[in-house]
Amino acid sequence: MKRYMLGMLGVLIVLSGCAGSYPEPVSRSGMATKSRTTYLGVVYSLKNRSNEGEIIATLLFSGGKTRYAGVIGVSCNGKAIALLKDDRLDRKRVYLYSLCHRSGIINGLVVPPKTTPDARFFLVGTYLGSWNAGLYRDVPDDMVLSPDGRYLYTGGERGTIIGFRVRRSGQLEKIGLLLRKPLPAEDRILSLGINANGEDLVASVENRGQSFLKEFRIDPDSGRLHPEGKSLSVPGPVHGIVAPDSLMNGNILGGILTGPGTASSVVTFETGDAFGRSPVFVRAVSRSGNTILHQVLFTPDGTSLFVSSTGGGDCSGHSGEIRRYFVEEYGKRLHPGPSLCTRVGGGVHNAGWDWKDRLLLSGRVLIIPEDPERSPKPASGRVEGDHGIVFVPAGGKGPEE
């Protein structure tokens, strides 16, 4: 009987470590409970470790302090490249979606509205890239969620754009006949972006050494894509396309442009009626050919753009620079503002905002001052993870600061 119990215990231990399981984070019950305070929320980020993606949860207190970080756990069997949040379909739940390179797996998690270290996170559905001759084909390189949270799109090699309807349960339902005419097989989708009003999807495409931006109109009822018949030639591949949350500064988008023998640059443009007749505006962030841009990120209102870079600039002895640019004339002009030397890097989805407009980076929280001419300043604490930082407000209790 004793051997039987030991054997069953071993089986349970093995099962608890299976890939795709979502264990409950361990509660730190031994911490002081006499004096407790309300925390602002939880930062979820996707960390790539040994080619496996792990979702990290970090409790964030006022001032940027953190008191808990736990692995929720998800194995991608490939490089984890993106994390998205959707809290607009069912206000009782928040859904997190992560995308895995090579396999095309999309992992969905339900996060309880009152998120605590003891809360359970469970899988709501996955999508697996097509398997052919022992290899995954047409795997995604990027994904984007529509502003209303109804549709999710992925793009990758062989001109493949796949669309999903996000059901109220958080599950993903593939959209059939997404495009009336498939894109050429020579097209590779590098990045996807949707403008603030949710009407247009822009794809960054590379084809036989040529780079383009292609625009599609999103059918609001079906999520299908209708080509606008417009494409813009750009000097090089564009990665990390982003848009602000607000239309205050128009339907602008931005991204990172790279080209052979040139420094990384910021590219901004306006979609909708202006797309196809207005030029794409390229703004080099440095005269140094060694400059590497890691991410551009609009403020929620679209009036400023934060650019993280390494190499060149005025941050000798530091690992990188974050500079603020003021966005003028619907993206036609970027006026440089203050900068901060700090640790930057990671993937093109490694930053985000919390509800107090604090910038969340890998391992760092930056406070953005009300005076736009002043530099951001670091807050105490740290944020775990390398990709896809998402802030989810929470109403639970945490240990004393």
pTM summary value: 0.84
C-alpha pair distances (Å), 287 with each of 53, 105, 180, 233, 290: 36, 39, 44, 23, 9
pLDDT one-digit tens code per residue, 80-105:
888 898 887 777 788 889 888 777 78
H/E element holding 5?
Answer: helix 2-16
Q: Give the residue with greater pLDDT, 160 vs 15.
A: 160
Phi, psi of 253 (to 5 degrees): -140, 160
- 202-227: per-residue pLDDT in tens? 999 999 888 989 999 999 999 999 98
The CA-atom distances, in angstroms, between 182 and each of 144, 224, 227, 272, 274 are: 19, 12, 10, 22, 25
Largest CA distance in the chain: 79
> What is the arithmetic mean of pLDDT over 279-303?
77
Q: How confident is the model at residue 159 (pLDDT cuts 50, 70, 90)?
A: confident
β-strand partners of 303: none
3-state SS assignment for residue 63:
helix
Output the CA–CA distances (angstroms, integers) from residue 310 to 214, 291, 318, 322, 340, in the order listed: 29, 6, 9, 9, 12
The pLDDT assigned to 49 comes to 64
